[in-house]
Amino acid sequence: MATMATAWELMRGRVGELEALDEVAQLLEWDQQTMMPGGGAPHRGKHLATITGLQHSRIADPAVGEWLNTLAETADPVQQAAVRNLRRRHERAVQVPVDLVQRLAEASNTGFGAWLDAKGNDDFARFQPALQTLVELRREEISHLGEAEHPYDHLLDVYDPGSTTAQLRPMFSRLSDALSAFIQEVADKAGPAELTERFDVVGQSRLSQRILKDLGFRTSDGRLDVAAHPFTVSLGAGDVRLTTRYREEELLSGLGSTIHEAGHGMYEQGLPQRWAGTGLAQAAGMGMHESQSRFWENVIGRSLPFFRWLTPIMQEIWPSKSITAEGLYGAANRVQPSLIRVEADEATYNLHIVVRFELELALMNGDLEAADLPEAWDAATDRILGVRAPGPAQGVLQDVHWSAGLFGYFPSYTIGNLYAASFRYKMESDLPEMWTDVQNGRFEDVLGWLRTNVHDRGHVRDAPELFKEAVGDRDPVADLMAHLRSRHGALYGVS
Amino acid sequence: MATMATAWELMRGRVGELEALDEVAQLLEWDQQTMMPGGGAPHRGKHLATITGLQHSRIADPAVGEWLNTLAETADPVQQAAVRNLRRRHERAVQVPVDLVQRLAEASNTGFGAWLDAKGNDDFARFQPALQTLVELRREEISHLGEAEHPYDHLLDVYDPGSTTAQLRPMFSRLSDALSAFIQEVADKAGPAELTERFDVVGQSRLSQRILKDLGFRTSDGRLDVAAHPFTVSLGAGDVRLTTRYREEELLSGLGSTIHEAGHGMYEQGLPQRWAGTGLAQAAGMGMHESQSRFWENVIGRSLPFFRWLTPIMQEIWPSKSITAEGLYGAANRVQPSLIRVEADEATYNLHIVVRFELELALMNGDLEAADLPEAWDAATDRILGVRAPGPAQGVLQDVHWSAGLFGYFPSYTIGNLYAASFRYKMESDLPEMWTDVQNGRFEDVLGWLRTNVHDRGHVRDAPELFKEAVGDRDPVADLMAHLRSRHGALYGVS
């Protein structure tokens, strides 16, 4: 049996290799969506499957289990955290049979094609069999993963380790009630005007590059490209790649994408490199990742001080347009219940997530089957959001996630919004000059606060603990509601 | 013991995985030289080393040896070729100790840094210790690889399987003598004029894209980018990536790069996909690869009919310039012994290779040590090329290859030129309309000939056999000299 020191060295070697493979997979995905010629598509699946297969066998390797056992009693908190993180991956890899992993991968492939077809034809029936298979395979996977308070916890564990169904359910329920009441209040008020002007794409691109630089994204350690569906990948803190999109008639949407992805990117650039190769120089889950993108996109990027800073920069790019900070601020903070999650405003957005969270819980519990999903969807959106889609394409088929077997990811978005709101209020008390700084385009202290309290902590603590250490006993639901009332409420005269 | 059918299936699975890993490595290298931000550099080595390490362990796996033994008596010629190709890689991986592989990788890293420093300071002494280490490690590697007629054969085997020192030495010697005589003949003749005009980079880029498409490079299955040192990678026949470079004062050099890389790229796009996953849908070595790039760059791309086709296209891009086919043709076919290999004309180029070939043989034999290399270099260039560098930066330090431990690669360039010349004459007899076609911008039949006789053959035969099957009993040295006399000789009035 190896000594603890030897096991730690061997484990670090393996974790370093796994990190490298993960970064290679991220490059393959970035390339697929930005650079790859059309003819490369058939082979790209093979590239990704080869890397994923090697990752699986390197994680499931019995030697990993031995190192973890040797290190089980370590007193070093960094080693403890590294062991916890790797053990999660190792146990899942060992407990889930390889043929189930393969069937899931195939079903995701089939599911994606069926979903595209069903959505294109506004016909849920074309997706139903593939979805039912995916639901059953996920339930089967969960059955291999041992006891848990709630089967859904095993899915949360992948994206948001540390979060539990028991903790999320009451939080989401309180949030849902408070949001519904708030949206009722603003429903028949006259709100701010939309932005109807068009802004050329070249100018938007210049604006995005300028904002990135000023926010604090290190452009020598990353790049910004255009993609149909914006995303961020990291090949290490020195190579973080953002994507965004520009449409002439949707300035605010493109701007929001850039700032959102910059938030993800600055988190990746700020991860603690002293722990590279331990699995701790990683984000503390997707909810915390979303808190960073949402914090910059919403808390900072939709604030009046931010638009006051931005207006003269925009006037320089588009001298012939009449642009005002107040006009942009109003347009960026309208409230309007709508059908499509990704187009939703900051307030109603979370109700879209509540709908999906409820339905996913029922699907994984066995209380709901794919065949009954469209009806359940319509009932839930009607009850929670007060809207009803004219057909499945704009309803139950709108998101790609389930077609790829991704259940348990949606909560991350609202967890991110909740964390971001509490970060706002804690930061306002820690940094009294915060909004003056933003208005002056000085983002160092804001970024510095996130660096110290989030980024530089890596994944030593799981997100719920890390959040508590950062903000203390704050109630994120109350903070998110206060945040929304201070913005949208004030604009609609109901705060 | 597995049956032959089972062994074949298992072997195909492994070869498919190795192909995917190789394509992933190519993406990492392409990205490094075209897209990667500066901050990504430190991590990229780790990505490549991880992929290379996994490749090595998957090739050296004892199971591979068992499949190969089971299939040793196969009567199927495709299986025979696949077994031969994989056996080469497996035996090298098994015979060379892993720690030697690692020492070679480290020495290449160190060597590259030392070479950059030495070249920048025009001081060979700064590179000498690293070079001596690399030479000794390669000799050590060769000592593990068993008997061969000549130690250098073990290096040729990596880049040009099927070529041997015994076969190359007399061929290169005859070529060297004939070339020296020819260059003497033109030495004091007044040749054609240089091209001194400048051409803007945007126009050059348009021209390159147009040429690619017309030659027959499938642009939906590839792309063209800019890189400091042009190269081509393939991620499968559907995703072939070329790079080139443009400088205002060097139109012909950029044009040559584009056509050269297109030649590599069309080979990759034409490999027989019916054999994907067997190791046979691969080029038959680097010499054959260079034959394709050189054929398009030199035989086609420096011909008068080609410039006759190109001139009106260029006149459309640069209407204010006076461009003539004869002027371009002359400028592209000047002969002038010079110091730098990569800037050499088509005739003297091969003498640069002869110099390197001789020195590499002596280094690998143990007849020459790194300390004596500068003197040996100067003596050889003086004798063979009739030039002498003012310092090592423009002499023995000019090429990157040795700094990365690449010995045995240089001959591929001249092998490529030799093959290309014989392809020209065989093609002229098979396709009597060939030059009329080129002048009309119709490249289908030329490409079709290469598709049938080279590309679609994959790596079933090694290059020397494949070459013979394509052209019969032609003498490539005579063909290359005839080709050069028909071009440069005629322009200098000595043909």
Residue A241's DSSP bridge partners are A223, A233
B51 CB neighbours in chain A (<8 A) are 24
CB nearest A46 (choices: B20, B54, B220): B20
Asked if B50 and A24 come within 8 Å (Cβ–Cβ), the reply is yes
Closest CA to B345 of B478, B487, B201, B229: B487
Residue A463 pLDDT level (bands cut at 50, 70, 90): very high
Residue A225's DSSP bridge partners are A243
Nearest CA in chain A to B218: A39
By the 8 A CB rule, do A186 and A488 touch?
Answer: yes
Walk across the sheet containing B232-234 and list its strands. Answer: B222-226, B240-244, B232-234
Q: How far apart are CA A133 and CA A138, in angstroms?
A: 9
By the 8 A CB rule, do B437 and B443 touch?
Answer: yes
Residue B244's DSSP bridge partners are B226
Alpha-carbon separation of residue A312 from A208, A275, A299, B99, B359 (angstroms):
14, 41, 20, 61, 65
CB nearest B43 (choices: A43, A218, A235): A235
Q: How far apart are CA A259 and CA A237, in angstroms?
A: 18
Query: Residue A345: which residues within 8 A CB-CB, separation 6 or more?
Result: A333, A334, A335, A336, A338, A488
Helix (H, G, I), strand (E, B) or coil at B243: strand
* Tens-place pLDDT, residues A165-180: 999 999 999 999 999 9
Alpha-carbon separation of residue B150 from B57, B92, B153, B377 (angstroms):
28, 17, 5, 22
Interface A-B, measured as beta-carbon pairs within 8 A, has a size of 108
Q: How far apart are CA A8 and CA A71, in angstroms?
A: 7
**DSSP secondary structure letter of residue B126:** G
Distance of CA B260 to the CA centre of its chain: 10
Asked if B220 and A51 come within 8 Å (Cβ–Cβ), the reply is no
Which residue of B22, B235, B268, B273 is the best one to mutate when testing the A interface, meaning the one whose CB has the most A CBs within 10 A? Answer: B235
Is pLDDT of A42 > 90? Answer: no
CB nearest B51 (choices: A24, A42, A221): A24
Distance of CA A101 to the CA centre of its chain: 24
User: Would you name the residues of A annotated as active-site residues?
Assistant: 261
Asked if A28 and B24 come within 8 Å (Cβ–Cβ), the reply is yes
Q: Of the listed B261, B290, B346, B360, which one is catalytic?
A: B261
Nearest CA in chain B to A43: B236
Q: How far apart are CA B95 and CA B117, in angstroms?
A: 34
> A4-149 architecture in CATH?
Up-down Bundle (1.20)
Asked if B235 and A46 come within 8 Å (Cβ–Cβ), the reply is no
Q: How far apart are CA B241 and CA A249, in angstroms?
A: 34
Q: How far apart are CA A25 and CA A48, in angstroms?
A: 6
CB nearest A37 (choices: B39, B43, B223): B223
Helix (H, G, I), strand (E, B) or coil at A226: strand
Asked if A41 and B238 come within 8 Å (Cβ–Cβ), the reply is yes
CB nearest B43 (choices: A23, A43, A44): A23
Asked if B35 and A39 come within 8 Å (Cβ–Cβ), the reply is no
Asked if A47 and B20 come within 8 Å (Cβ–Cβ), the reply is yes
Residue A341 pLDDT level (bands cut at 50, 70, 90): very high
Which residue of A43, A52, A271 is the best one to mutate when testing the B interface, meaning the one whose CB has the most B CBs within 10 A? Answer: A43
* Tens-place pLDDT, residues B162-213: 999 999 999 999 999 999 999 999 988 989 999 999 999 999 999 999 999 9
> A150-495 architecture in CATH?
Orthogonal Bundle (1.10)
Residue A304 pLDDT level (bands cut at 50, 70, 90): very high
Question: Tokens representing A51?
Answer: 């890397």
Helix (H, G, I), strand (E, B) or coil at A466: helix
According to the model, what pLDDT value does residue B378 have? 97
Alpha helix (H) residue ranges in A270-398 = 286-294, 304-317, 325-332, 349-365, 373-384
The tally of CA atoms less than 13 A away on the side-chain side of residue A133 is 20
Residues of chain B with pLDDT under 70: 1
According to the model, what pLDDT value does residue B187 have? 87
Closest CA to A446 of A469, A430, A467, A468: A430
Determine the angle formed by the axes of helices A251-269 and A286-294, rounding to 10 degrees.
130
Strand-pair category, A222-226 with A232-234? unpaired
Strand-pair category, A222-226 with A240-244? parallel
Which residue of B22, B26, B47, B225 is the best one to mutate when testing the A interface, meaning the one whose CB has the most A CBs within 10 A? Answer: B47
> B4-158 architecture in CATH?
Up-down Bundle (1.20)
Residue A195's DSSP bridge partners are none
Alpha-carbon separation of residue B342 from A253, A372, B331, B387 (angstroms):
49, 68, 17, 15
Q: A interface toward B at CB cutoff 8 Å?
A: 16-17, 20-21, 23-24, 27-28, 31, 35-44, 46-47, 49-51, 53-54, 218-223, 235-239
B46 CB neighbours in chain A (<8 A) are 16, 20
B53 CB neighbours in chain A (<8 A) are 17
By the 8 A CB rule, do B80 and B8 touch?
Answer: no
Question: With b meaning 16 or more CB within 10 Å and e meaning fewer, what string describes A288-314?
Answer: bbbbbbbbbbbbbbbbbbbbbbbbeeb
Asked if B23 and A43 come within 8 Å (Cβ–Cβ), the reply is yes
The tally of CA atoms less than 13 A away on the side-chain side of residue A305 is 14
Which residue of A28, A32, A47 is the best one to mutate when testing the B interface, meaning the one whose CB has the most B CBs within 10 A? Answer: A47
Asked if A43 and B235 come within 8 Å (Cβ–Cβ), the reply is yes
The tally of CA atoms less than 13 A away on the side-chain side of residue A203 is 17
According to the model, what pLDDT value does residue B429 have? 97
Asked if B218 and A31 come within 8 Å (Cβ–Cβ), the reply is no
Secondary structure element (H or E) that encloses residue B224, with its range: strand B222-226
Asked if A20 and B239 come within 8 Å (Cβ–Cβ), the reply is no
A22 CB neighbours in chain B (<8 A) are none
Nearest CA in chain A to B38: A220
Q: Both ends of chain A: CA-CA distance in Å?
A: 65
A24 CB neighbours in chain B (<8 A) are 24, 28, 47, 50-51
CB nearest A39 (choices: B44, B53, B238): B238
Amino acid found at A366 = G
CB nearest A20 (choices: B31, B50, B237): B50
Query: Residue B141: which residues within 8 A CB-CB, separation 6 or more?
Result: B96, B100, B104, B154
Determine the angle formed by the axes of helices A165-187 and A349-365, rounding to 10 degrees.
140
Asked if A237 and B39 come within 8 Å (Cβ–Cβ), the reply is yes
Query: Residue B119: which residues within 8 A CB-CB, separation 6 or more?
Result: B127, B392, B393, B397, B398
Q: State the span(s) of chain A assigned CATH 1.20.58.
A: 4-149
* Tens-place pLDDT, residues A358-401: 999 999 999 999 999 999 999 999 999 999 999 999 999 999 99
Asked if A31 and B36 come within 8 Å (Cβ–Cβ), the reply is no
ipTM beyond cut 0.85: yes
By the 8 A CB rule, do B114 and B125 touch?
Answer: no
Whole-number mean pLDDT of chain A? 96
Question: Tokens representing B219?
Answer: 């642009």
Q: How far is A326 from chain B (nearest CA, A)?
A: 37
A235 CB neighbours in chain B (<8 A) are 40, 43, 47
Q: How far is B34 from chain A (nearest CA, A)?
A: 11
Asked if B220 and A47 come within 8 Å (Cβ–Cβ), the reply is no
Question: Tokens representing B230?
Answer: 């042009």
Q: How far is A456 from chain B (nearest CA, A)?
A: 19
Q: State the span(s) of chain A assigned CATH 1.10.1370.30.
A: 150-495
Q: How far apart are CA B60 and CA B87, in angstroms?
A: 10
CB nearest A40 (choices: B17, B219, B235): B235
By the 8 A CB rule, do B238 and A39 touch?
Answer: yes
Amino acid found at B330 = G
Asked if A40 and B238 come within 8 Å (Cβ–Cβ), the reply is yes
Q: How far apart are CA A476 and CA A241, in angstroms?
A: 30
Residue B112's DSSP bridge partners are none
Question: Tokens representing A376?
Answer: 């359940």
Asked if B221 and A20 come within 8 Å (Cβ–Cβ), the reply is no
Helix (H, G, I), strand (E, B) or coil at A488: helix
Query: Residue A312: which residues within 8 A CB-CB, separation 6 or more?
Result: none
Asked if B37 and A221 come within 8 Å (Cβ–Cβ), the reply is yes
Q: How far apart are CA A255 and CA A245, in angstroms?
A: 9
How many CB atoms are located within 10 Å of the residue B301 CB?
24
Nearest CA in chain A to B58: A54
Q: How far apart are CA A381 and CA A393, in angstroms?
A: 14
CB nearest A47 (choices: B24, B35, B40): B24
Q: How far apart are CA B39 and CA B37, in angstroms?
A: 5
CA dihedral B108, B111, B116, B120 (to 10 degrees): -160
B21 CB neighbours in chain A (<8 A) are 50
B20 CB neighbours in chain A (<8 A) are 43, 46-47, 49-50
According to the model, what pLDDT value does residue B1 have? 56
Helix (H, G, I), strand (E, B) or coil at B162: coil
Distance of CA B349 to the CA centre of its chain: 13
B36 CB neighbours in chain A (<8 A) are 239
- Pick from A212-216, A473-477, A491-495, B430-434: least confident: A491-495
- For tokens 């023995």, name the residue: B396
Alpha-carbon separation of residue A437 from A389, A434, A440, A442, B62 (angstroms):
43, 5, 5, 5, 64
